[in-house]
Amino acid sequence: MGEQYHFDPDTYAELMESEVPSYDRLQDLVAEHCAEIEARTILDLGTGTGVTAGRVVGVQPGATLVGVDESPEMLARARELLPEADLRVGRLEDQLPDGPFDLVVSALAVHHLDGPHKADLFARVARVLAPSGRFVLGDVVIPADPSEVVTPVDDDGHDKPSTVDDQLVWLQQAGFDARAVWVERDLAVIVGDRLAR
């Protein structure tokens, strides 16, 4: 998602349409796996304009949602869509909002972190999840076959996708029962259920 590191809410939808052809499919699957559990409290990481958060609230209508994104401009747009949500400007590398959350979700944001920061984020996600809570992650990944790269990845260091396998290992190390539920070329949806401690 290279040409634009600082996302612009006015061009975001168009950018996704051109760079992530299966964007809607990914969002649908993320929401489907969020619907499988009963969630009263949700944390959305990298809320952007609120597309993922809106769909997740749609399948968990009684829940309260906290969203985090480093872009005040993107969150301003999300606030129009989700006036009830608690949307906070913040970085995924920093302390997460206090839990416990029944569900943590993130779409197309975690690939902005490098491997060690992803592993660290997954450990912090496990800590803010309620017992038996779920983490649903939809993102750009490094595909097994390099010819399957579809989404442009910038070369100035802002896109740092990892393989599905590496992310499964980091999730397992963080205390999740983790599995990839969908992989299509360079996109994946991964579900992690927090193991009892």
Ligand X SMILES: C[S@@+](CC[C@H](N)C(=O)[O-])C[C@H]1O[C@@H](n2cnc3c(N)ncnc32)[C@H](O)[C@@H]1O
The candidate with the shortest Cα–Cα distance to 197, out of 114, 137, 132, is 132
Should residue 151 be labelled a site residue for ligand X when binding is judged by CB under 6 A? Answer: no
From residue 40, give the alpha-carbon distance in Å to each of 43, 63, 99, 169: 10, 4, 12, 28
Size (the chain), residues = 197
Should residue 65 be labelled a site residue for ligand X when binding is judged by CB under 6 A? Answer: no
Place of tokens 């595909």: 143
**Which range in 35-43, 107-115, 126-134, 147-155 contacts ligand X by CB under 6 A?**
107-115
Residues 3 to 32 in contact with ligand X, rule: CB under 6 A: 7
Residue 169 Cβ vs ligand X, minimum distance, rounded to whole Å: 21
Should residue 91 be labelled a site residue for ligand X when binding is judged by CB under 6 A? Answer: yes
Which of residues 82, 109, 136, 188 is near ligand X by CB under 6 A? 109
Cis, peptide link before residue 146, omega less than 30° from 0: no
Should residue 92 be labelled a site residue for ligand X when binding is judged by CB under 6 A? Answer: yes
Report how far residue 140's alpha carbon sits from residue 151's, in angstroms, rounded to the nearest whole number: 8
Of 51 and 174, nearer to ligand X (C-beta) is: 51
Query: What is the maximum alpha-carbon separation in the chain?
Result: 44
Query: Interface residues with ligand X (CB under 6 A)?
Result: 7, 46-48, 51-52, 69-71, 74, 91-93, 107-109, 112
